[in-house]
Structure 1
Amino acid sequence: MPRFKRGVKFRFDTVRNVWIILAPEKLFMPDDIAVEILRLVDGARTTDHIVDDLARRFDAPRETIADDVVAALDDLSSAERYSYDPTPMGLIIELTHRCPSNAPIARIR
């Protein structure tokens, strides 16, 4: 059953008005297809349940949906954001820590 790894959160960002995945020191903004899949990832639903739900909601062939869901979850699993028994991501932004002086790197001698 697909589920988010510990420390990874999927939520709606009201500031950006988009769904995001928050991971340690990273922010991911999945595309619309990935969002539909990720909204069903709860650790309780199997991949088959996710495929059935999406095929029913979008009135699409189950085989087509299954291919998309498995490819998306495999892609996300290989990026280690998920645990999967497992959409292309849109934009990846890396966050960096700054020292109190706002310099990007603090040097220690």
Structure 2
Amino acid sequence: MDRVPKFRPGFRFQWEPAQDCYVLLYPEGMVRLNGSAGAILAEVDGDRSVAEIVHRLEQRFPEAGSLAEDVAGFLRDAEAQHWVALS
């Protein structure tokens, strides 16, 4: 939970009006993100730890309850996909 995610070089996260969702752009293509993935990656700034991201999301979505396991799991998957690096 103390690790800090940041986007890997070559990846750019942005809102795409034509897709009406957040996307992750990279030289070979684009990943269209669902709402949850977009909300998590919107918090990735290279300075916030996973714990801080969880805290911010739990404040933003209090009805969701504890998000620690889901957020940490998604970020591990994003790291496995080489979208982010966790330092």
TM-score normalised to the size of structure 1? 0.71
Q: Which runs of 5+ in 1 are unaligned?
A: 86-109
Residue identity over aligned pairs, in percent, reads 30
Distance between the aligned counterparts of 1:36 and 1:81, measured in 2?
15
Q: After superposition, what is the alpha-carbon deviation per residue over 1:16-70, rounded to whole angstroms, capped at 9, x for unaligned?
A: 2221100120210111111110100010111110000111111143xx3000101
Aligned length: 83
Higher helix content, 1 or 2: 2
Distance between the aligned counterparts of 1:16 and 1:56, measured in 2?
27
Q: Which runs of 5+ in 2 are unaligned?
A: none
Structure scoring higher RCO (CA < 8 A, sep ≥ 6) equals 2
Larger C-alpha radius of gyration, 1 or 2? 1
Distance between the aligned counterparts of 1:21 and 1:8, measured in 2?
7
Q: After superposition, what is the alpha-carbon deviation per residue over 1:78-100, rounded to whole angstroms, capped at 9, x for unaligned?
A: 00111013xxxxxxxxxxxxxxx
- 1:38 aligns to 2:41 (yes or no): yes
Supply the RMSD in Å over aligned alpha carbons: 1.1
Aligned to 1:72: 74
TM-score normalised to the size of structure 2? 0.88
